[in-house]
Each structure stands twice: as structure tokens, then as C-alpha cells.
Amino acid sequence: SAVISQKPSRDICQRGTSLTIQCQVDSQVTMMFWYRQQPGQSLTLIATANQGSEATYESGFVIDKFPISRPNLTFSTLTVSNMSPEDSSIYLCSVETRSYGYTFGSGTRLTVV
């Protein structure tokens, strides 16, 4: 499958600060997807990131809170801005490739204190 490197794997952050999560893929992909997984819950799609255009956000998620960059076909970042304890979750990136279908990174476990 496509290999996804996601960093950091975990972090503990102070409320009011921001964290940028990086997602690096070992092959060029058109679309990258960002998900949030709250404790004990399923994955919820935050946004879809297409290289060269603004990300498309799902209902309940806004660009000011979760800005996304997609500078090239192998890399994306998700920033969680002005964090509160409610933002404590696992954040995952995912890609779709023709050969391997959908692949997920191992996630970033964020705790906001």
C-alpha cells in the first residue's frame, strides 16, 4: 500500500495554542483526506485537500479552525488552531491511490490541557 508518514505521532498542547500536523506520502496523489477521531468514536471527515486549490471542508469544520495546506502531490498539513480540550482527538490523514485504494496514516494523538 502507499506509505504515509504522519508527524507528530502524539502531542500534549496548551489550550489557546495551535498544532500543525504533517502528512507525507511516498507517491504522488491527487486527493488527501483529513479525519478526526474523537475518543471512543469513529472517524469523521474534516476536509478533502486537492493540490493547487483550497481544501473542501465538511459541515461543522471551518478553515479558520482547521487550515490545510497542500503544496505538492506528496505532502499536506492540517493545523488545529486556538485549541481547546474539546479538540483532543486522533487526527488522521488518508490518501487514495489507483493501485492500493485508501490508505491511512497512523494518526496524531492530540491532548489539549
Partner 1 sequence: GESVGLHLPTLSVQEGDNSIINCAYSNSASDYFIWYKQESGKGPQFIIDIRSNMDKRQGQRVTVLLNKTVKHLSLQIAATQPGDSAVYFCAENIDQAGTALIFGKGTTLSVSS
Binding residues (CB under 8 A) for partner 1: these are 1, 4, 6, 30-31, 33, 35, 41-45, 48, 50, 59, 92, 94, 96, 98, 101-107, 109
To which residue does cell 496514516 refer?
Answer: 105
Cβ contact 66:48 at 8 Å:
no
Instruction: Give dist(CA 84, CA 112) in Å, integer.
Output: 6
C-alpha cell at 28: 504522488
Cβ closest to partner 1, residue 12 vs residue 16: 12
Instruction: Give dist(CA 85, CA 33) in Å, integer.
Output: 23
- Residue 85 has phi, psi (to 5 degrees) of -55, -25
Cβ closest to partner 1, residue 14 vs residue 59: 59
Peptide bond into 39 cis (omega under 30): no
| Smallest distance from partner 1 to CB 57, Å | 12
| Smallest distance from partner 1 to CB 82, Å | 25
Cβ closest to partner 1, residue 16 vs residue 101: 101
| Smallest distance from partner 1 to CB 38, Å | 12
Cβ closest to partner 1, residue 17 vs residue 41: 41
